[in-house]
Amino acid sequence: MTTSAVWHPFTQHGLGEPIPLVTRAEGAALHTADGRRIVDAISSWWVTTHGHSHPRIVAAIREQAEKLDQIIFAGWTHEPAEAVAQGLRDIMPRELTRVFFSDSGSTSVEVALKMALGYWREHDPARHRILVLEHGYHGDTIGAMSVGARGVFNSAYEPLLFDVGTIPFPVPGGEQASLDALEQACAAGAAAFIVEPLVLGAGGMHFYAPSTLREMRAICTRHGVLFVADEVMTGWGRTGTLLACEQAGVVPDILCLSKGLTGGAIPLAVTMATEPIFQAHYGPDRAKMFFHSSSYTANPIACAAARANLAIWAEEPVAERIASLGKRQQARLDALSGIRNVRGCRRSGTITALEIAGEDGYLSALGPRLLAHFRDRDLLLRPLGNTVYVMPPYCIEDADLDRIYAAIAEACEAL
Ligand code: PLP
3-class SS of residue 35: coil
Residues pairing with 27 in the sheet:
52
Candidates 328, 368, 372, 369; CA nearest to 351 is: 328
ipTM tops 0.85:
yes
According to DSSP, the β-strands at 192-195 and 226-230 are parallel
Residues pairing with 255 in the sheet:
229, 272
Query: How far is Cα 3 from Cα 1, in angstroms, rounded to an integer?
Result: 7
Residue 342 backbone zone (phi > 0: left; psi -120 to 50: alpha; other: beta)? beta
* Cα 257 to ligand 1 centroid, rounded to whole Å: 9
* Cα 259 to ligand 1 centroid, rounded to whole Å: 8
Please give the number of the atom of ligand 1 that sits closest to the Cα of 196.
Answer: 3
Ligand 1 within 6 A of CB of 258: yes
* Cα 188 to ligand 1 centroid, rounded to whole Å: 29
Query: How far is Cα 225 from Cα 210, in angstroms, rounded to an integer?
Result: 19
- Tens of each residue's pLDDT in the chain, 415 residues: 568 999 999 999 999 999 999 999 999 999 999 999 999 999 999 999 999 999 999 999 999 999 999 999 999 999 999 999 999 999 999 999 999 999 999 999 999 999 999 999 999 999 999 999 999 999 999 999 999 999 988 999 999 999 999 999 999 999 999 999 999 999 999 999 999 999 999 999 999 999 999 999 999 999 999 999 999 999 999 999 999 999 999 999 999 999 999 999 999 999 999 999 999 999 999 999 999 999 999 999 999 999 999 999 999 999 999 999 999 999 999 999 889 999 999 999 999 999 999 877 888 888 899 999 999 999 999 999 999 999 999 999 999 999 999 999 999 988 7
Q: Residue 415, exposed/middle/buried by CB under 10 A (0-12, 13-18, 19+)?
A: middle
User: In b/e form, how buried is each residue of 111-148, taking b as 16+ CB within 10 angstroms?
Assistant: bbbbbbbbbbeeeeeebebbbbbbbbbbbbeebbbbbb
Ligand 1 within 6 A of CB of 202: yes
**Long-range CB contacts for residues 145-154, cutoff 8 Å, separation at least 24:** 147/109, 147/113, 147/194, 148/203, 149/203, 151/362, 152/362, 152/363, 153/362
Ligand 1 within 6 A of CB of 40: no
Set out the domains of the chain in order of their start, with CATH numbers: 13-40+318-414 (3.90.1150.10), 55-315 (3.40.640.10)
Detail the DSSP E strand segments found in 275-377: 342-348, 351-356
